[in-house]
Amino acid sequence: MNTHFGPCQHGKKMMNRCITLLSLCLLIGAQNLDAQPFAYRQGVSLSHWTGNMIDDHTYADSAWFNKKDVEWIARTGVDHIQVYVAGNEIISVEGVILPEKIAALDSLINWSRGLGLGVLISPGRMPAFIPDSTLSKEAQTELRLKKQVDYMGVFANYFRNHGDNIRFMITAGGDDHSIRSRYFAAVITEIRKTNPSRKLYVMAYSINHLPDLYIPKNDSNIIVSAEMSQSSEAKSEAIDVFVWQHQEYYFSKGVPSVTFPGTVPKLDTFTTDLSKWAIKFSGAGLRKDYFETKFKTVKKWMTENHPDLEFYVPYWRYWTGYPFDPATIKDKHSVQNFINAFVNAAKKNNITWCFYDYNSGSSIRYESGEESFLLKTMRLKRTAGSL
């Protein structure tokens, strides 16, 4: 009897072992999938969904952006989404997360995770805390600073158990360098209480202001960041304006088109109140190696000061005006030169970046749902499917 059933029992044991090994392999495979890092090489910003709403849209308006948009982005070669969030929308003055508002971010994170996209959350405009008016000006400043840090702590604590597909970007405005540095130091310390290894982007408003940044030592999860399209980066702003084809927004009609590379014409007779700042750039040469030269400077500074950290450019753009009309691009070759000069220089210097917007005046998508000329020019490698 035993000899008759022996092989069957042996077979059952072997089958059980195979099932166990198969389950173990599946478990390891699932863990490896979860452990695979999300890429943050080239992203796109949602500037107007939960932060700076436009065209009468409301906070997290599903008519402006929803899961189908995330699916569209995932097919373009973009590997992460940067989302600006108005803190006063998701946190009460008392420092309580508002479930009905934070739900939009939760949805974005879940949609993105399922498609292999990272999410870089940039919170700002925290609740307007009003300190006791009987306090001195200095005391009020200190109290406001503390409350802003506290609000950031509440925000970070909410996401403490989220996975690797989210990161935080922290920014600080104002002209007082000492206040900004103290804010960065306090916020990073506060975030690290609940998110000890979360990637944090510390952002300067200009490459020229990188030395003003507070970067903590011995924190390998910090990423240095700086914009390239702000007025504080004057030459870049000049290039940004002069090579676009919607110049009537700043200048009077008839201003000669400026190519990239090229030379800015004499502007005195074409400037308006919005563009008088540009007169000093009359005759300036717009060199094709502008970005290459700028990134070399950044790389040198990073090597000397933070050799082990990554550098990231947020909100890079080719500004086309708003609303965007692709028919107004007069010189596509010039636009291609401008975009490729940036993308190639960033790749050469191992710099990661994010494009300015998803579907507004400087975007990767037209309102019709087609990929924009700007996206086509960047030639990002598609990760799945086609548009």
pTM, rounded to two decimals: 0.84
Is residue 373 assigned to a domain? yes
Identify the domain containing residue 62 by its residue range: 38-232+289-378
Q: What is residue 6's predicted lDDT score, i.e. its pLDDT?
A: 42
Helix (H) or strand (E) holding 42: strand 42-50
| Residues in contact with 265: Cβ distance below 8 Å, sequence separation at least 6, in sequence order | 255, 256, 258, 282, 283
CATH number at residue 104: 3.20.20.80
Number of H helices, E strands in the chain: 10, 10
Is 270 within the bounds of a domain?
no
33 domain-assigned: no
Asked whether residue 338 is assigned to any structural domain, the reply reads yes
- Per-residue pLDDT 10s for the chain (387 aa) are 333 334 444 454 444 544 444 343 333 333 333 434 688 999 999 988 998 887 788 999 999 899 999 999 999 999 999 999 999 999 999 999 999 999 999 999 999 999 999 999 999 899 988 888 899 988 998 999 999 999 999 999 999 999 889 999 998 877 777 888 899 999 999 999 999 999 999 998 788 788 888 899 889 999 999 987 655 555 666 666 666 555 666 778 777 777 888 888 888 888 888 778 778 888 888 888 988 988 998 999 999 999 999 999 998 877 665 555 666 677 788 888 888 999 999 999 999 999 988 987 678 888 788 888 888 888 886 554 444
Write the burial class of residue 105 (CB in 10 Å: 0-12 exposed, 13-18 middle, 19+ buried).
buried
Helix (H) or strand (E) holding 353: strand 352-355
What is the number of structural domains in the chain?
1
Six-digit token string for 187: 């916020």
Q: What are phi and psi for residue 82, nearest 5 degrees?
A: -100, 125
pLDDT at 277: 77
Does the residue 244 lie in any domain? no
Nearest residue to 341 via CA among 353, 330, 329:
353
In a domain, 303, yes or no: yes
Residue 283 forms part of a structural domain: no
Burial classification of residue 152, based on how many CB atoms lie within 10 Å of its CB (0-12 exposed, 13-18 middle, 19 or more buried): buried
What does the pLDDT read at residue 265?
83
Q: Residue 69 has what pLDDT?
A: 96
User: Is there a domain that residue 136 lies in?
Assistant: yes
For 167, the enclosing helix (H) or strand (E) is strand 166-170
pLDDT score recorded for residue 20? 43
DSSP string of 142-163, one letter each residue? HHHHHHHHHHHHHHHHHTTT--
Percentage helix, strand, coil for the chain under 3-state DSSP, each rounded to 5: 45, 15, 40
Kindly report whether the peptide bond that precedes residue 307 is cis, defined as omega within 30 degrees of 0.
no
3-state DSSP assignment of residue 363: strand
